[in-house]
Amino acid sequence: MADTPVSLLERLRANPDPRSWQRLVDLYTPLIRDWLRRHALQASDSDDLVQDVLGVLVQELPNFRHDLRRGAFRRWLRNITANRLRTHWRKRGRRPVATGDSDFEGVLNQLEDPESRLSAEWDREHDRHVARRLLELLAGDFEPTTWAAFRMLVLEGIDTAEVAAQLKITPNAVRIAKSRVLSRFRKEAEGLIDE
């Protein structure tokens, strides 16, 4: 683990490395695939489009500039996904019927509209997914006791004294573990999840 962790987005923009790209792929593939499958795509088509979306990210991320507005990356990713989906259907020369009462074009327009119900749903799911998945990916970066203390205290809501007793460490060590993991999580998630 680096002494001064840099956010995933910053690593990919400034000094991309295979491990950081793999983390991005591991983080976003399930989210994008789930969204595409939910919106009128078969599994094979959604897998192809996931690759298309990730290809655009690889190509364009070095030029991405977070504009300091909440959800800038999330919005950018949502628009890339909607655009790739629109291109996919245009190339196929057909428009599928979307789920719900609206037409497929209406679904894409909603996804691109930051004020729509569908965009709000994307934003909520994005943040929940990224937080959960990022924690899963970070677990291996910490000593087992540090991770266990964090998981028990923060994720399971067990009292500090009880965590310390179960892990046979001091309450202060439990608080330090929590602080280390949260600090790393916040830094890694910077720009991906905007508080």
60 within domain boundaries: yes
Angle, helices 72-92 vs 18-38, to 10°: value is 60
- pLDDT digits over 12-43, tens only? 888 888 988 898 899 999 999 888 887 667 77
Q: Which residue has the higher pLDDT, 111 or 155?
A: 155
Which whole number is the average pLDDT over 66-91?
81
Q: Is residue 28 part of a domain?
A: yes
Within a domain: 174 = no
Please tell me the total count of domains within the chain: 1
Q: Are 149 and 177 in contact (CB under 8 A)?
A: yes
What is the number of residues in the chain?
Answer: 195
15, 27 contact by CB (below 8 A) = no
Confidence of residue 68 (pLDDT cuts 50, 70, 90): low
8 in Cβ contact with 192 (< 8 Å): yes
Three-state SS at 2: coil
Distance CA 154, CA 160 (A): 10
**Residue 4 — pLDDT band, cuts 50, 70, 90?**
very low
Tell whether 19 is covered by a domain: yes
